[in-house]
Copies of this chain bind each other. A is one copy, B any other.
Amino acid sequence: MAKPQLQLALDHTNLESALQTVKILHPYIDIIESGTILCVSEGMKAVRELRALYPDHTLVADLKVADAGETLATEAFNAGADWMTVICAAPLATMAKAHEVAQARGGEIQIELFGNWTLDDARAWHQLGIKQAIYHRGRDAQASGQSWGKADLDLMKQLSDIGLELSITGGIVPEDLPLFRDITVRAFIVGRALAQAADPAAAANAFHSAIDALWGDQHA
């Protein structure tokens, strides 16, 4: 298992402030995410500008696509995204179309896990050729007090066993990382804990230190 990467989620409502954040943080992160809020506010212009400014980072368009997989994947990958998210509630046909466009562009689809879904669904996604999913403790769920629990961790392990790499998000702090030691983690996704840190570089490095301590010797 490769070492998990660090993903910066840009959930700003305007592109200018998102660009200020990434300007400070880009040396300390592996993956830049144009978050749903940014994509909805600014459209694919956000992805195009991030691609132009940061050609070497992996770039995610977090669109949470629910339908029209082919059209939206074409928009996202044309704008320069490497990865695009599809919501787990989308019909399998939508995932198949999005995955087809992604493959043709050398990109990848990530299934965003929200609400009702089953391990059978996850197996069906994996059979389509989709390799990634995002395990999300939702912003509103967090605010209402839901935390990482054994049920979450067991489910993540089962998803790993199916063959899906997970990116994990939702108010993660470096102290949480040991919880995920047995999971195939592609990335930890962090938004406000980096963007709003008093010292953003130090906040990012705290994640990298925790990742190195837990996964570092697998990185040989």
Number of interface residues of A (CB under 8 A): 46
Interface members, chain A 63-116 (any B CB < 8 Å): 63-64, 66-72, 75-76, 87-91, 93-94, 96-97, 112, 114-116
**Is A205's beta carbon under 8 Å from chain B?**
no
Contact assessment for A36 and B72 in the assembled complex, using a CB-CB cutoff below 8 Å: yes
Nearest residue (CB) in B for A12 is B71
With A41-B43, A41-B75, A43-B39 known to touch, is A68 a contact of B140 (CB < 8 Å)? yes
Contact assessment for B71 and A13 in the assembled complex, using a CB-CB cutoff below 8 Å: yes
Contact assessment for A67 and B116 in the assembled complex, using a CB-CB cutoff below 8 Å: no
Min distance, Cβ A164 to any Cβ of chain B, angstroms: 18
With A88-B115, A93-B138, A136-B67 known to touch, is A39 a contact of B36 (CB < 8 Å)? no
Partner of A114 from the list B66, B136, B139 (CB cut-off 8 Å) is: B66
What is the oligomeric copy number?
2
Min distance, Cβ A131 to any Cβ of chain B, angstroms: 20
**Is A42's beta carbon under 8 Å from chain B?**
yes
Contact assessment for B112 and A66 in the assembled complex, using a CB-CB cutoff below 8 Å: yes
**Is A11's beta carbon under 8 Å from chain B?**
yes
A40 to B43, CA, bound (A): 5
Contact assessment for A114 and B141 in the assembled complex, using a CB-CB cutoff below 8 Å: no
**Is A23's beta carbon under 8 Å from chain B?**
no
CB neighbours (8 Å) of A42 from chain B are 43-44
Contact assessment for A67 and B115 in the assembled complex, using a CB-CB cutoff below 8 Å: no
Interface members, chain A 139-181 (any B CB < 8 Å): 139-141, 143-144
Min distance, Cβ A93 to any Cβ of chain B, angstroms: 4
A89 to B28, CA, bound (A): 33
CB neighbours (8 Å) of A116 from chain B are 89, 115-118, 121
**Is A19's beta carbon under 8 Å from chain B?**
no
* B-binding residues in A (CB < 8 A): 11, 13, 36-37, 39-46, 63-64, 66-72, 75-76, 87-91, 93-94, 96-97, 112, 114-118, 121, 136, 138-141, 143-144
